[in-house]
Amino acid sequence: MGVIERDVRREALAELSRFRGEFYACLTARGDSLFELAEALLCVEGPVKTLVGLALAPEHRRGHGALYAGLNQGRLDVGRLRRALAGLPLPQAADGRLVLAVDVSPWLRPDAATSPDRSFCHTYGRGEQNHQMIPGWPYSVIAALETGRTSWTAVLDTQRLEPGADVAAVTTVQVRELVGRLIAAGQWHEGDPLIWVVVDAGYDVPRLAHLLRDLPVEVLGRLRSDRVMRRPAPPRWHGINGRPPKHGGEFVFKDPATWGGTIATTTTVTTRYGTAEAKAWDKLHPRLTRRAAWEDYEGDLPIIAGTVIRLQVEHLPSGGDPKPLWLWWSRTGATTADVDLAWQAFLRRFDIEHNFRFWKQTLGWTVPKLRDPAAADRWTWLVVAAQTQLRLARPLAGDLRRPWERALPSNRLTPARVRRGFRNLCTLTPTPARVQKPTTPGPGRPIGSKNRVRAPRHEVGRVLAGGEPHIRPTHHQTGTKPRRTGQAATSTSVACG
């Protein structure tokens, strides 16, 4: 082992130890139980199948009662944990800028009628490969993306969407507060490249860019292929009366005759998609109307101009028919090199999907059957803290591969491969949790007695997306029967999958 590698491992171990101590300090009530629960989440063998099974791990020195008491009655200083996450070393794009991916993932709870604050969540590919609306808790997550092919992301913030919440408004508040924490932590300085916020097609990208226009960020997102944009207004001729036009000619995505000349056309040879061709058009904007999110806007509706990028690849890794990908970028006057960086940064957005898969399939994020949404929030932050420890332990981990798996270098290990050896790594750092006190178990409920307190039932709410069509779920999709009064539920929902 060289001197440089030893220094890297020493610094990584020190950073991991500092974060573990700061994470424990964020646990203000029942912190020992919650810290050991996160420890067991990292050290247990294989995927997490049950929540109570974590109490059997050697790292969880308390009983299963303390496990549930920690989630239901514990307290977590979320603000302090958010500041700690913003102060950690963060991945950057190829040009040194921060790229933040924003997406919503649902914690489905279709049978939890006694759990409040559930919303109808738009899920893809469940059942017969159709889109369904299923009750659950949608969570908005923001993560910093790395460059290159990887399944690692640095999760910086998560927030559960309340019923009736406007996704664009919640995302605006999330990004605004996160950018403030990043600037306070020294992650961005005046003169650095602007931070990119990358979103998928479920967001109203121009509206999000308008709400964040006073921040050092640029918004990049996907648009549907049936959109129509407008060109800048033509110059007004001298001597013509009347109100000057606000919009120019139409730019129809499905009609190449309306595209006109491009500001940039690039061709890139990729290993997975073959030849990728990107075309960009400058200063295109949507024509806004006073409805939906813009109904109560004061004054004249704004002109939100940006760059439209059309990406066409030669083939897909799955062998399917590649369709063009349309992107809208809040920057104008982009160069050819900027266009290449933009669409490559958007493709990195799909790394957050691998993050959600790792949460659900390995860390068991949606496994617990918790009734209280506040307990679900605590568990979610424990999962975030656990994944952050794995990310900090990457330089320390070795490849504990199975006999049928291919060997990987240390810098290419996946989060699941790093987790296999975390039990050996956590012994190198001090454990701030205190030793459990000897206790005597209580008598519990007498045998044969029944619970006479009936838990209240809660209706499923809705989440507003701003720009997406509302879909009315049926009782076959939600798993609930219609009310006996004959009145159908009127709640609607939007995409959060």
Dist CA 467 CA 208 (whole Å) = 11
Number of neighbours of residue 119 by Cβ within 10 angstroms: 26
Residues 290-301: tens digit of each pLDDT: 988 898 888 899
User: Tell me, what's the pLDDT at 219?
Assistant: 97
User: Tell me, what's the pLDDT at 440?
Assistant: 78
The residues with which 221 forms a beta bridge, in sequence order, are 199, 328
Tell me which H or E stretch contains 309: strand 306-313
User: Tell me, what's the pLDDT at 318?
Assistant: 80
Q: What average pLDDT does the segment 212-228 reach?
A: 95
Q: What average pLDDT does the segment 107-113 reach?
A: 94
Angstrom distances, CA of residue 381 to CA of 61, 79, 141, 207? 21, 11, 11, 29
Dist CA 298 CA 277 (whole Å) = 41
User: Tell me, what's the pLDDT at 376?
Assistant: 97
Cα 12 versus chain centre, distance: 25
Q: What average pLDDT does the segment 308-315 reach?
A: 94
Confidence of residue 492 (pLDDT cuts 50, 70, 90): very low
| pLDDT: which is higher, 484 or 279 | 279
Residues 351-368: tens digit of each pLDDT: 999 999 999 999 999 999
**Residue 205 contacts residue 219 (beta carbons within 8 Å):** yes
Residues 54-102: tens digit of each pLDDT: 999 999 999 888 999 999 999 999 999 999 999 999 999 888 899 999 9
Confirm whether pTM is higher than 0.85. Answer: yes
Dist CA 322 CA 312 (whole Å) = 7
Dist CA 172 CA 188 (whole Å) = 19
* Residue closest to 371 by CA, chosen among 111, 40, 35, 121: 111
Confidence of residue 278 (pLDDT cuts 50, 70, 90): very high
Angstrom distances, CA of residue 283 to CA of 219, 268, 306, 334, 364? 14, 24, 5, 10, 45
User: Tell me, what's the pLDDT at 234?
Assistant: 85
Dist CA 206 CA 222 (whole Å) = 11
- Bridge-based pairing of strands 75-76 and 274-284 is unpaired
| pLDDT: which is higher, 150 or 479 | 150
Q: What average pLDDT does the segment 166-191 reach?
A: 95
Dist CA 405 CA 400 (whole Å) = 10
Buried b or exposed e, range 156-185, using 16+ CB within 10 angstroms: bbbbbbebebbbbebbbebbebbbebbbee
Buried b or exposed e, range 321-345, using 16+ CB within 10 angstroms: ebeebbbbbbbeebeeeebbbbbbb
Number of neighbours of residue 401 by Cβ within 10 angstroms: 13
Residues 405-456: tens digit of each pLDDT: 888 887 789 999 999 989 988 888 888 888 888 877 778 788 888 888 888 9
**Residue 197 contacts residue 218 (beta carbons within 8 Å):** yes
Q: What average pLDDT does the segment 137-157 reach?
A: 93
pLDDT of 473 > 90? The answer is no
Average confidence score pLDDT of the chain = 87
pLDDT of 170 > 70? The answer is yes
- Bridge-based pairing of strands 119-126 and 250-252 is unpaired
Question: pLDDT over 70 for what percent of the chain?
Answer: 90
pLDDT of 333 > 50? The answer is yes
Confidence of residue 126 (pLDDT cuts 50, 70, 90): low
User: Tell me, what's the pLDDT at 125?
Assistant: 63
**Residue 154 contacts residue 143 (beta carbons within 8 Å):** yes
Confidence of residue 1 (pLDDT cuts 50, 70, 90): low
Q: How many residues does the chain have?
A: 497
Place of tokens 């500092």: 18
Confidence of residue 486 (pLDDT cuts 50, 70, 90): very low
